[in-house]
């Protein structure tokens, strides 16, 4: 007899799962007693069997989410009613491997659109991967050396096998979604609104640094991905040289994109706003000599202190020293150190005069002259040091390595432009410690989270529909949330959904596969009778 009440269906699932667990334990016990096994053998064996059991439990719980008796019709987006047709099976690959879910299929006679309400409720796509598995794939796809390696790691960790293309797809899909989260050049008003709310701490000093790094692309050859980094610093006295301050970057966050400087400027500006640009007492822009960096600084951070990276500036002097004295000469080092001392003391004019006297010694001297002339106002290192400012753009270079080089520049790698950008963006969110936020945004974008979120915000509201105003509340909330607030919000949302799920659908309002098949057969019989 098929259980038809919620309680009976729950009880049926409990009994089935308990029986399977009992059988499993008995089988394992006799397997253990038959011959000797190592702990590793036992672990692997148990994990594999528990995974299979877990997959059955997930499928069973999903079937409980459906109504015991499918309603004869549901609303269609066209405004008409879609009529119940039959039960259909969906395959989904989950964290516990592939599972099958039976669900009701409805068809609208007016617009010929079909739908499976349970798919929307459980937020999955038939024939695809679950959101939880996709999250893991994106994480591995962005952090392992290659998509193929990611499949190996996944299989070792979860015993689930997927193709390298599935990893690529999940990673790039998340990357594209995250890129869309960042501002478009035209949307001047929106960032400003959200900026006020997203400034979390009010740091005294905000550092902004940027750089470019090349990746090999199919369509365009070697192309530059731009990388930006916003951070605060922490200073302490250098142990080895107590006269010096050791200034370290902390709480760095990153943006990256394969785009022109103009668009990238807006993107970085938005990130700086999120990091408290408007509430910072001081803003420092650090970079090498690339023109686009200083154009962005002028346009988006006009009140910032501009500092040319100390190490790039030094490099020009060393190159000039080689041109003047020759690589092997001991004079080379002596001269360079003298000039570096002047530079360290902020005496750029004296360095320039010295370089001027060696002008005829060729390209390297001319390059140094031009660099020092152009960036003279960004090289007041003595004053920067006196104020405790960082003078090296190491954070930008390390960002380039971490976001791009470490993953996109493995031997022989050539990327599609969109894939390279997407993977770098996923890494940027991960390294900015915004993974949870990224995954939450993905959920919000994809499916019916919005309505539920409104209900979390307004727990007393009984209305099921969502007004435009409510929608804008949600959108504002999303934009406003600081990292901490957002995590709290996500947690509250999940808790509320769980609570709601219990009340509204009840894990206990499930129905069994046999029952569904029976209903499907009855419908078929009916339609055959009509046809006859």
Question: Can you give the binding site for Zn ion, defined by CB under 5 A?
Answer: 76, 78, 80, 108, 110-111, 113
C-beta closer to Zn ion: residue 81 or 251: 81
Q: Is 98 helix (H, G, I), strand (E, B) or coil?
A: strand
How far, in Å, CA of 275 to CA of 206, rounded? 8
C-beta closer to Zn ion: residue 74 or 164: 74
C-beta closer to Zn ion: residue 111 or 413: 111
Let me know: does 410 contact 146? Beta carbons within 8 Å: yes
How far, in Å, CA of 153 to CA of 151, rounded? 6
- Residue 484 C-beta: closest distance to Zn ion, Å: 43
What are the CA-CA distances from residue 360 to residues 47, 328, 363 (Å)? 74, 20, 9
Let me know: does 110 contact 80? Beta carbons within 8 Å: yes
C-beta closer to Zn ion: residue 47 or 109: 109
C-beta closer to Zn ion: residue 75 or 472: 75
- Residue 84 C-beta: closest distance to Zn ion, Å: 14
- Residue 466 C-beta: closest distance to Zn ion, Å: 20
C-beta closer to Zn ion: residue 109 or 193: 109
- Residue 276 C-beta: closest distance to Zn ion, Å: 48
Let me know: does 285 contact 301? Beta carbons within 8 Å: yes
CB burial of residue 352 (10 Å; 0-12, 13-18, 19+): middle
How far, in Å, CA of 502 to CA of 508, rounded? 8
C-beta closer to Zn ion: residue 64 or 108: 108
- Residue 86 C-beta: closest distance to Zn ion, Å: 18
How far, in Å, CA of 124 to CA of 80, rounded? 24
How far, in Å, CA of 269 to CA of 249, rounded? 19
- Residue 71 C-beta: closest distance to Zn ion, Å: 16
How is 352-419 classified by DSSP, letter by letter? Answer: HHHHHHTGGG-HHHHHHHHHHHHTGGG--HHHHHHTT-----HHHHHHHIIIIIHHHTSTT--B-HHH
- Residue 75 C-beta: closest distance to Zn ion, Å: 9
| b/e burial code for range 467-478 (CB count within 10 A of at least 16 → b) | eeebeebbeebb
H/E element holding 256?
strand 245-257
- Residue 77 C-beta: closest distance to Zn ion, Å: 6
Let me know: does 171 contact 151? Beta carbons within 8 Å: no
C-beta closer to Zn ion: residue 112 or 413: 112
């Amino acid at each position: 007899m098929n259980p038809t009440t919620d309680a009976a269906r729950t009880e049926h699932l409990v009994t089935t799962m308990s029986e399977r667990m009992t059988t499993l334990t008995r089988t394992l016990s006799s397997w253990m007693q038959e011959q000797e096994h190592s702990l590793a053998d036992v672990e692997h064996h148990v994990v594999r069997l528990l995974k299979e059991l877990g997959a059955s439990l997930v499928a069973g719980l999903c079937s409980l989410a459906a109504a015991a008796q499918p309603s004869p019709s549901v609303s269609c987006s066209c405004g008409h009613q879609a009529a119940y047709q039959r039960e259909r099976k969906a395959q989904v690959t989950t964290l516990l491997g592939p599972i099958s879910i039976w669900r009701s299929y409805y068809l609208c006679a007016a617009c010929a659109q079909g739908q499976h309400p349970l798919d929307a409720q459980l937020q999955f796509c038939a024939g695809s991967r679950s959101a939880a598995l996709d999250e893991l794939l994106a994480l591995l796809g962005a952090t392992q050396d290659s998509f193929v390696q990611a499949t190996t790691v996944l299989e070792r960790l979860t015993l689930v096998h997927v193709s390298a293309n599935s990893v690529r797809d999940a990673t790039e899909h998340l990357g594209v979604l995250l890129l869309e989260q960042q501002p478009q050049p035209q949307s001047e008003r929106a960032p400003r609104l959200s900026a006020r709310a997203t400034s979390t701490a009010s740091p005294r000093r905000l550092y902004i640094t940027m750089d470019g790094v090349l990746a090999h692309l199919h369509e365009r050859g070697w192309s530059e991905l731009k990388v930006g980094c916003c951070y605060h610093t922490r200073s302490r006295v250098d142990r080895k040289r107590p006269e010096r301050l050791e200034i370290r970057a902390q709480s760095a966050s990153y943006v990256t994109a394969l785009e022109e400087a103009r668009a990238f400027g807006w993107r970085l500006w938005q990130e700086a706003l999120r990091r408290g640009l408007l509430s910072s007492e001081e803003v420092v822009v650090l970079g090498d000599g690339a023109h686009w960096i200083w154009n962005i600084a002028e346009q988006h951070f006009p009140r910032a202190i501009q500092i040319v990276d100390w190490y790039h500036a030094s490099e020009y002097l060393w190159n000039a020293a080689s041109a003047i004295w020759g690589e092997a000469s001991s004079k080379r080092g002596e001269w360079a150190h003298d000039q570096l001392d002047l530079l360290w003391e902020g005496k750029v004019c004296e360095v320039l005069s010295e370089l001027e006297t060696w002008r005829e010694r060729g390209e390297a001297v001319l390059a140094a002259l031009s660099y020092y002339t152009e960036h003279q106002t960004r090289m007041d290192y003595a004053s920067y040091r006196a104020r405790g400012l960082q003078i090296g753009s190491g954070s930008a270079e390390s960002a380039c390595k971490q976001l791009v080089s470490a993953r996109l520049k493995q031997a022989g790698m050539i990327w599609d432009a969109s894939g390279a950008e997407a993977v770098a963006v996923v890494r940027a969110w991960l390294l900015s410690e915004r993974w949870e936020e990224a995954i939450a945004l993905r959920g919000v974008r994809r499916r019916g989270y919005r309505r539920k979120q409104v209900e979390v915000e307004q727990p007393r509201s009984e209305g099921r529909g969502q007004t435009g105003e409510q929608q804008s509340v949600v959108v504002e909330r999303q934009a406003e949330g600081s990292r901490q607030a957002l995590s709290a919000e996500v947690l509250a949302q999940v808790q509320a959904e769980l609570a709601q799920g219990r009340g509204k659908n009840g894990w206990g309002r499930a129905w069994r596969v046999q029952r569904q098949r029976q209903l499907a057969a009855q419908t078929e019989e009916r339609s055959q009778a009509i046809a006859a």
